[in-house]
Amino acid sequence: MSQTETGELKSTETAGTNTKSKILQALESKDLNVQFTDALDNEMVLNMGPQHPATHGVLRLLVSLDGETVVNCVPELGYLHRGYEKLAESCSYHEFIPHTDRLDYLSPMANNVGYALAVEKLLHLEIPERGQYIRVIIAELARIQSHLLAMGALVMDIGAVTPFLWAIREREKILDLYDIICGARFTTSYTRIGGVAQDVTDEALNGIKQFLDELTATLDDMRNLVERNKIFIVRCEGIGYLPKERCIELGLTGPLIRACGIERDLRRCEPYLVYDKLDFRVPTYNDSDCLARYYVRVEELVESVKIIRQCLEKIPSGPHNALQSKKVLPKKDRVYTKMEELIHDFMIINFGVNPPVGESYSAIEASKGELGFYFISDGSGHPWRMKIRSPSFSNLQALSEMMNNCMISDTVVIIGSVDPVMGEADK
C-alpha cells in the first residue's frame, strides 16, 4: 500500500513541478533523505522543551522514539541555573532568605522554613512554641499550595481542564492568606533566623480556618470528578512504573517513594518543629505508578488540612521569636527607639550571625521530598559553602527509567506525576 502511495506522490510531483509552492520546494532540499514508507516504523529523535507547556518549566528532554514508543530519554537541566550556591557564599545568612523563595517557587513558605531551621541547627538555636506552630501552619499551607497545582497540572496534561481551574482558584486563596500573613503573595521571605518576620494575626488564623472548610468541599468535588473518570484511570494506571528497589537505589524522596510502599516521611522519621505532637497519617501506596503518586498527593492534602486544624487549636500565645538578641533580628519599632536594639540590628545586618565553626545538615519534608541544606561554616557571617539538596533534582534522575518503553503521550503524564520544579532542580 505504501508503494502505491509513494508512486502516486511521485507522479504528481513530476507533473506539477512549476505549480509547487515555495514551502514544498524548501522541504525537498538536497539533504532530505527521509523515506516515508510507514509513519510509525522509523526511529526519530524528538526534542521536548525547554519551552514546552507539559514540562512544567524549562526542563528539556531528548526523547528517542521507535514509532510511538520511547526508547530512550535524556533530561537536560540548567536552563534556570542561577548559581544560588555560589551566591550564598557571599550573602550573610539573613540575606539569603529571599533567594530561598525562588528555589521551589510553588511552595516558597516551605523553603523559608527549611532554610531557617537549617541555620538554627547550625546556631544551636531553639525557637519558642508559638513560632514553631506558625511554621508548621505555613509549611503545610505550602504543601497544599504545591499539591493542588501538581494535581491540577497532572489532570490537565491528560486533558481535563476543569479540576485545574478549581485547583488554581483554591490556590489563589492561599496566596491571599500569605498576603495577610506576611505582606507578599508569592515571594514570601517570611521566616527569619530564630523565628518569623511578624506574628500571625487572628484575622489570618480565622481566614485559614475558613479556607480549610472551603478547600475540603472543593477537594471532594475534584475527587469525584477525577477519580471515577475512566480516561484518567486508564491513562495513569501502570504508567511510569518504577520497582521499589530502584526507587531506593535512585534516592527518591517525597510522594514518589511513598507511592512505592515505603513509609518514609521526614516529619515522622526525623521529626522537626512540633510534628511529633501532631496526629497525622503518612499515606502510602504500593503500585508505584502515576495513579499511586496522584493518590498519595491527594491524601497528603487531606492530612495537611488535618495538621493545620490541630495547629489552629493548639497554637499557644507568647513570643514568636527566640530571645537571643545577638542572633535574632529585633523588632523594627524598637530599633528606632532603643539603643541596645539598634546596636544588635547593626551588628546582625553588617556582620551576620556568626555561627560556630563546623558543618551541619538539616532537612525538612517539603512538598516534593527531602529539602536539605548542608552548611559549612568558618565562623564568619556568611557560609563557607552551602549545598542545597533539592528534591526535584534527584527525583528527575528517575525520569528516564520511568519513561522506558512508554508511549510518547505518556511522557507528559510521567513528568506531571514526578512534579518537578525547575527553579529548585537547577538551583
Partner 1 sequence: MNIERLELLKSKLQQFEAEYSDTNGSPGFYIDKDSVIDACRVIKNDLGFRSCVDAISVDRFSKKLRFEMIYNLVSIEHNERIFVKVRLDTKSPAMQSLSQVWDSANWYEREAYDLMGINFENHPDLRRMYMPEAYEYHPLRKDFPLMGIPDSIPLPNK
Binding stretches for partner 1 (CB under 8 A): 77-78, 81, 83, 85-87, 89-90, 121-122, 246, 248-251, 253, 262, 264, 269-270, 358-361, 370, 372, 374, 376, 385, 387, 389, 393-394, 396-397, 426-427
CB of 360 to partner 1, least distance (A): 4
- CB contact at 8 A, 130 and 316: yes
- CB contact at 8 A, 192 and 348: no
- CB contact at 8 A, 373 and 115: yes
Instruction: Name which of 145 and 284 has its Cβ closer to partner 1.
Output: 284
* Backbone torsions φ then ψ of 46, nearest 5 degrees: -110, 135
CB of 280 to partner 1, least distance (A): 18
CB of 55 to partner 1, least distance (A): 17
Instruction: Name which of 238 and 251 has its Cβ closer to partner 1.
Output: 251
Angle at Cα 56 formed by Cα 52 and Cα 57, nearest 5°?
75
Angle at Cα 58 formed by Cα 54 and Cα 61, nearest 5°?
70
CB of 78 to partner 1, least distance (A): 4
Q: How far apart are CA 17 and CA 10, in angstroms?
A: 11
Query: How many CB atoms are located within 10 Å of the residue 41 CB?
Result: 9
Q: Which residues pair with 74 in a beta bridge?
A: 62
Instruction: Name which of 122 and 415 has its Cβ closer to partner 1.
Output: 122
Among candidates 191, 123, 39, which has minimal Cα distance to 377? Answer: 123
Instruction: Name which of 183 and 358 has its Cβ closer to partner 1.
Output: 358
Instruction: Name which of 13 and 249 has its Cβ closer to partner 1.
Output: 249
Instruction: Name which of 133 and 393 has its Cβ closer to partner 1.
Output: 393
CB of 118 to partner 1, least distance (A): 10
Among candidates 199, 200, 194, 148, which has minimal Cα distance to 177? Answer: 200
Among candidates 208, 192, 17, which has minimal Cα distance to 113? Answer: 192
- CB contact at 8 A, 293 and 256: yes
User: Three-state DSSP class for 159?
Assistant: coil
Alpha carbons within 13 angstroms on the beta-carbon side of residue 305 total: 19
Here the cell at position 117 is 531551621
CB of 188 to partner 1, least distance (A): 25
Instruction: Name which of 102 and 246 has its Cβ closer to partner 1.
Output: 246
Residue 55 carries which DSSP code?
G
CB of 29 to partner 1, least distance (A): 23
CB of 76 to partner 1, least distance (A): 9
Q: How far apart are CA 197 and CA 112, in angstroms?
A: 11
Instruction: Name which of 207 and 369 has its Cβ closer to partner 1.
Output: 369
What are the strands, taking DSSP E only, across 39-98? 43-48, 60-66, 69-76
Instruction: Name which of 122 and 222 has its Cβ closer to partner 1.
Output: 122
Among candidates 192, 107, 187, which has minimal Cα distance to 142? Answer: 107
CB of 403 to partner 1, least distance (A): 16
